[in-house]
């Protein structure tokens, strides 16, 4: 797997979605390390704010990613309607 998310002419949406999903893991830094996909956390928020949390990851080459977890952790139809 390429460690690059890509650009408009050569995207890697699977990797982008994987990195976005890491924000919902209890420990993004450990999750990235265990994934062994070339990305590592360079900053992880220590505390959430109303359920929101973020991290910054680096692929060791040229790209950084900001992953943000929203406050909605459990899906429901009421939440969807809201």
Q: What is the pLDDT of residues 6-53, one digit of tens each?
A: 766 777 888 888 999 999 898 999 999 999 989 999 999 998 887 788
Q: Name the token pair of 47.
A: 């505390």
* Reported pTM: 0.77
| CA pair distance 72, 51, nearest whole angstrom | 7
Dist CA 38 CA 61 (whole Å): 9
Q: Distance (Å, rounded) from C-alpha 39 to C-alpha 67?
A: 12
pLDDT score for 50: 79
Q: Quick one: DSSP state of residue 58?
A: E
């Amino acid at each position: 797997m390429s460690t690059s998310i890509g650009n408009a002419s050569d995207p890697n949406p699977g990797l982008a979605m994987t990195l976005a999903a890491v924000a919902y893991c209890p420990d993004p830094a450990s999750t990235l390390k265990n994934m062994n996909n070339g990305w590592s956390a360079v900053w992880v928020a220590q505390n959430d704010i109303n359920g929101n949390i973020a991290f910054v990851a680096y692929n060791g080459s040229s790209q950084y990613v900001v992953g943000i977890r929203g406050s909605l952790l459990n899906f429901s139809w009421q939440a969807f309607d809201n």
